[in-house]
Amino acid sequence: MPKPKKAHPVTARSTHGITIFDVAKLAGVAPITVSRVMNQPDQVKESTLLKVRRVIEETGYVRNQIAGSLASNRTRLVAVVVPMLTNPIFADTFQAIAARLEQANYQVLLGISGYKAAQEQELLEVVLSRRPDGIILTGTIHTEVSRKRLRATGIPVVETWDMTDDPIDMLVGFSHETIGQREAQHLLAQGYRDFALIEVDDPRGVRRSNSFIQQLARQDVTPLDRQTFHGLPTLEQGRLGLVNLLHLLQRPPVEIRAGSAVIQRPLILVCTSDTLAHGVLTEAASRGIAVPGQVAVMGFGDMNFAAHTFPALSTVKIDGTDIGQRAASALLERLKEPNGAPPEAMDVGFTLVNRDSTGPLISTR
C-alpha cells in the first residue's frame, strides 16, 4: 500500500492562527512571494506558484484582509444596498455591479433595506464599521443621520435608481417624476380617461403616482381611486386592489357598443410595479373581466414575466444591468483617481413599452 502523504506539521488548532510567515517558511520562500502568489500570480514562476498554493491548501491558510488593508489603506470591499432581491430588476443591477467589481478584484457586501430609510441607516452603521472602499445605494431617500455619516467618512458613494438635485456624491439613475408625467401623457393620448392607481408605499413609486396625478390634473382629469398597500409589492396586493376597486364602483366595468362598433372606454389601472399589475391581470381572469376591453393595465419595471403574461403587460422598462455597470464603473474610476472631478449625474432614461394590456383604444372623445 502507498504511504500516506506527510502533512505539514500544523494542527487543526494552530491552523486557525497560521500567518503568511508560516506559509512562507513551510514553502521555503519569502513572505513577499506568498503575497504575490495571492495577488499577482502572473509574476511568479509556475513551480513556485504550485508549491506555495499546495502549502496554502494543506494548511488551510486564509489571508488576513484587514492586516493587508492597513498597509494599502484599502479593504477591497464594496457595500451594495438594494431594497429587495425578489424583484429581478434589482437583481440584475446587483449582478452587474458584482461582475464589474470582481473584474477589478473587489468583493461585494450585500445589504437589503426593504425600502426603509431607517433600516438602511442600521445597515450603513454596520457597513461603515467594516471600512469599505466604496458604497452603492439604491435611491436617494436616506435619513439625515445616514447622509451626514456618509459625507463625513469621505468614502465614495454612488446613489442609483433615482435623480436628485442634492446627491451625496455620484449618481446613476432616472427621474421618477418624469416617468409619471410621461405615463399620463401617453395614456391620455391613447384615449383613456377613467384612471385608478395601485401602489405600495415605496417613496419612489409614490412620487411617480403623484407626478401622474398632477399631469392628469392639467387635463382636468381626476383618478377614480388610489389604492395604497404597505410593504413590498405582491401579486396578492394587485388582486386585492382590483377587488377593492370593483367594490367601490359597485359593478364591473362594461364595454359600450355603438351600432356594430365597440367603443371601448375601459377603466385603466396604473400600477407602480409589474408584480401588482400581474395580480390585477390574475384577478381579472378569475372574474372573466376582459383585458383590455373592460380593464386595461399598466405596470412598471418590465420584469422578466411582463412580456409573457396574458395579455402581455404594458409597462415602463428600466435597464437595471446598465445602471449596475455604470455605477460600478463610476466607483472604480473614483477609487483610481480619488482627487478627480466628480462625474456628472448619469440619467439612463426609460422606455414606455406598449403591449396588449393597454391595447388599441377607440376614443369616444
Three cell numbers, residue 240: 386585492
Percentage above 70 pLDDT, the chain: 87
Range with the poorest average pLDDT among 165-169, 214-218, 342-346: 342-346
Q: How confident is the model at residue 14 (pLDDT cuts 50, 70, 90)?
A: very low
Q: How confident is the model at residue 206 (pLDDT cuts 50, 70, 90)?
A: very high
Q: What is the mean pLDDT of residues 238-255?
A: 83
Percentage above 90 pLDDT, the chain: 66
| Residue at 9: amino acid letter | P
Instruction: Kindly provide the b/e burial profile for residues 187-205, where b requires at least 16 CB atoms within 10 angstroms of the residue's own CB.
Output: bbebebbbbbbbbbebebb
**In CATH, what is the architecture of 176-317?**
3-Layer(aba) Sandwich (3.40)
How far apart (Å, rounded) are the C-alpha atoms in residues 264 and 336?
Answer: 58
Residue 253 has pLDDT above 70, yes or no: no
Three cell numbers, residue 146: 445616514
Judge whether 156 and 134 are in contact, CB under 8 Å: yes
Domains 12-63 and 176-317 share a fold: no
Give the chain's largest Cα–Cα span.
96
Residue 166 has pLDDT above 80, yes or no: yes
How far apart (Å, rounded) are the C-alpha atoms in residues 163 and 355?
Answer: 27
Of these ranges, 296-305, 337-346, 355-364, the one predicted with the greatest mean pLDDT is 296-305
| Spans of all domains in the chain | 12-63, 76-174+320-348, 176-317
Residue 201 has pLDDT above 70, yes or no: yes
Please identify which residue in the block is written with the cell numbers 473614483.
334
Q: How confident is the model at residue 264 (pLDDT cuts 50, 70, 90)?
A: low
Residue 362 has pLDDT above 50, yes or no: no
Residue 13 has pLDDT above 70, yes or no: no
Predicted confidence at residue 5, as pLDDT, reads 47
Nearest Cα neighbor of 90 from 357, 343, 320 is 320
Specify the CATH number of the domain 12-63.
1.10.260.40
Residue 15 has pLDDT above 50, yes or no: no
| pLDDT tens by residue, 86-127 | 888 899 999 999 999 999 999 999 999 988 999 999 999 989
What average pLDDT is seen over the chain?
A: 87
Predicted confidence at residue 254, as pLDDT, reads 56
Predicted confidence at residue 365, as pLDDT, reads 35
**Whole-prediction pTM value?**
0.77
Q: Which CATH number fits domain 76-174+320-348: 2.102.10.10, 3.40.50.2300, 2.30.140.10, 2.60.40.1930?
A: 3.40.50.2300
Give the residue ranges of DSSP H helices in the chain: 12-15, 20-27, 31-39, 46-59, 65-72, 88-103, 117-129, 144-153, 176-189, 203-218, 235-249, 274-286, 320-336
Q: What is the mean pLDDT of residues 337-349?
A: 86
Cα→Cα distances 267→196, 218, 280, Å: 7, 19, 12
Q: What is the mean pLDDT of residues 142-169?
A: 93
Residue 171 has pLDDT above 90, yes or no: yes
How far apart (Å, rounded) are the C-alpha atoms in residues 147 and 128?
Answer: 12
Residue 35 has pLDDT above 90, yes or no: no
Predicted confidence at residue 162, as pLDDT, reads 97
